[in-house]
């Protein structure tokens, strides 16, 4: 690969820069490569995950857009593990479906929702780095996929039933092996490494090289970006500490359980008249330890 340009993180760009209509082309390029069609963003919609509070402790950023076809697209960057994450993306799409249909409208007015997760943690169990989820109805006897009637296809301008339902995309960034196989991989390389080789040419990346260059940020934006990175490091440190604490508690619990079992075994053998040397050899503990357990039991 040729020289690389270091750029600001995509999630911070989503939070600060990509909401500007002048920068839609960056996001449109990413969406076009992922969805394999030319996407034009009509407008940015309100999003719960886009907090401007400097004290915000969230480890995620999202952006919610409507494209030129009226479809709703949720793009979310998640920086650390949440066990109920699958439930949350379901909630997000369900909320979008119900909030963007007018009272009294026919069900045909339900909008298509696409949920895209850029995950910087190992979400679920799987070896791939890009997953696509759709809704299909499969026959339990014939194994066929239930399709739309011709009148439905013509009336609603869709070919397959799954096109009506929410779709889910999950990109597991850390699983990507940095091997470029297609234009989408160029985007994922950027998402993982924060840099772009000069010969990358996927849609939106040329614009990203210019608009996401840290050197082009104002002093105020640079300060905000540094604060954002510091917050991410703090979150990662806190979660690491919690993980270590949990591991220590587990180890203590195991040790305590082992000690209890060891004590019960010693006293059980003593009760059956087994000598200290034989107990020591049988349980692989010192005779001193055996006598200590016996003495503590007598003292109680």
Which residue among 154, 184, 216 closes a domain?
216
* Predicted local distance difference test score (pLDDT) of residue 103: 84
Dihedral over alpha carbons 171, 62, 108, 91 (to 10 degrees): 80
* Predicted local distance difference test score (pLDDT) of residue 184: 97
Residues 4-13 have pLDDT tens digits of 667 888 988 8
* Predicted local distance difference test score (pLDDT) of residue 192: 93
**Do 119 and 244 have their domain in common?**
no
Which residue among 216, 247, 262 closes a domain?
216
* Predicted local distance difference test score (pLDDT) of residue 248: 75
* Predicted local distance difference test score (pLDDT) of residue 57: 47
The region of weakest confidence among 128-132, 143-147, 170-174, 222-226 is 222-226
Domain for residue 193, yes or no?
A: yes
**Do 86 and 187 have their domain in common?**
yes
How many domains does the chain contain in total?
A: 2
Is residue 270 predicted with pLDDT exceeding 80?
yes
**Do 75 and 201 have their domain in common?**
yes
Is residue 75 predicted with pLDDT exceeding 50?
yes
**Beta carbons of 180 and 197 less than 8 angstroms apart:** no
Which residue among 183, 216, 249 closes a domain?
216
* Predicted local distance difference test score (pLDDT) of residue 177: 95
Domain for residue 223, yes or no?
A: no
Residues 220-229 have pLDDT tens digits of 888 888 888 8
**Do 204 and 242 have their domain in common?**
no
Domain for residue 224, yes or no?
A: no
**Do 280 and 143 have their domain in common?**
no
Domain for residue 279, yes or no?
A: yes
Between 112 and 251, whose confidence is greater? 112
**Do 263 and 160 have their domain in common?**
no
**Do 90 and 160 have their domain in common?**
yes
* Predicted local distance difference test score (pLDDT) of residue 121: 86
* Predicted local distance difference test score (pLDDT) of residue 58: 52
**Do 52 and 110 have their domain in common?**
yes
Instruction: Write the DSSP assignment of the chain as a string of letters.
Output: ---EEEB--HHHHHHHTTTSGGGHHHHHHHHHHHHTS---EEEEEP-TT----TT---SEEEEEEEETTS-EEEEEEE-S--TTHHHHHHHHHHHHHHHTS-TT--GGGPPPEEEEEEESS--SS-S-SEEEE----B-TTT-PBP---HHHHHHHT-SSGGGTS-EEEEEEGGG--S---SHHHHHHHHHHHSEEETT---TTHHHHHHHTBGGGS-HHHHHHHHHHHHHHHHHHHHHHHHHHHHHHHHHHHHHHHHHHHHHHHHHHHHHTT--HHHHHHHHT--HHHHHHHHHHHHH-
**Do 191 and 244 have their domain in common?**
no
Residue-number span of the structural domain to which 64 is assigned: 4-216
The region of weakest confidence among 74-78, 159-163, 283-287 is 283-287
* Predicted local distance difference test score (pLDDT) of residue 266: 85
**Beta carbons of 79 and 122 less than 8 angstroms apart:** no
* Predicted local distance difference test score (pLDDT) of residue 55: 43
**Do 16 and 121 have their domain in common?**
yes
Residues 20-33 have pLDDT tens digits of 999 999 999 999 99
Residues 88-105 have pLDDT tens digits of 999 999 999 999 998 889
Domain for residue 208, yes or no?
A: yes
Is residue 214 predicted with pLDDT exceeding 70?
yes
**Do 181 and 87 have their domain in common?**
yes
Q: What is the pTM of this model?
A: 0.75
**Do 107 and 256 have their domain in common?**
no
Mean pLDDT of the chain: 87
How does residue 54 score in pLDDT terms, banded at 50, 70 and 90?
very low
* Predicted local distance difference test score (pLDDT) of residue 237: 79
């Amino acid at each position: 690969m040729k020289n690389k340009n270091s750029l600001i993180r995509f999630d911070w760009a989503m939070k600060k820069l990509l909401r500007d209509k002048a920068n839609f082309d960056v996001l449109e390029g990413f969406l076009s490569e992922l969805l394999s069609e030319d996407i034009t963003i009509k407008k940015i919609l309100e999003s719960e995950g886009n907090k401007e509070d400097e004290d915000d402790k969230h480890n995620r950023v999202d952006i919610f857009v409507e494209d030129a076809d009226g479809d709703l697209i949720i793009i979310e960057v998640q920086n650390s593990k949440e066990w109920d994450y699958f439930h949350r993306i379901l909630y997000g799409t369900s909320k979008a479906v119900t909030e963007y249909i007018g009272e009294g409208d026919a069900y045909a007015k339900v909008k298509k929702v696409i949920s895209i997760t850029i995950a910087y943690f190992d979400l679920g169990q799987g070896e791939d780095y890009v997953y696509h989820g759709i809704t299909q109805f499969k026959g339990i006897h014939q194994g066929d996929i239930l399709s739309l009637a011709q009148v439905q296809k013509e009336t609603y301008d869709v070919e397959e039933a799954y096109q009506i339902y929410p779709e889910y995309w999950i990109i597991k960034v850390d699983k990507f092996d940095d091997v470029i196989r297609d234009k989408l991989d160029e985007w994922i390389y950027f998402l993982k490494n924060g840099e772009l080789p000069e010969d990358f040419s996927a849609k939106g990346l040329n614009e990203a090289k210019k608009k996401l260059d840290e050197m082009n940020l104002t002093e105020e934006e640079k300060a905000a970006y540094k604060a954002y990175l510091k917050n991410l490091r703090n979150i990662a440190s806190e979660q690491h500490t919690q993980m270590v604490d949990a591991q220590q508690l587990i180890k203590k619990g195991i040790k305590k359980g082992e000690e209890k079992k060891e004590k019960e075994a010693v006293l059980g053998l003593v009760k059956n008249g087994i000598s200290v040397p034989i107990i020591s050899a049988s349980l692989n503990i010192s005779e001193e330890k055996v006598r200590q357990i016996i003495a503590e039991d007598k003292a109680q």
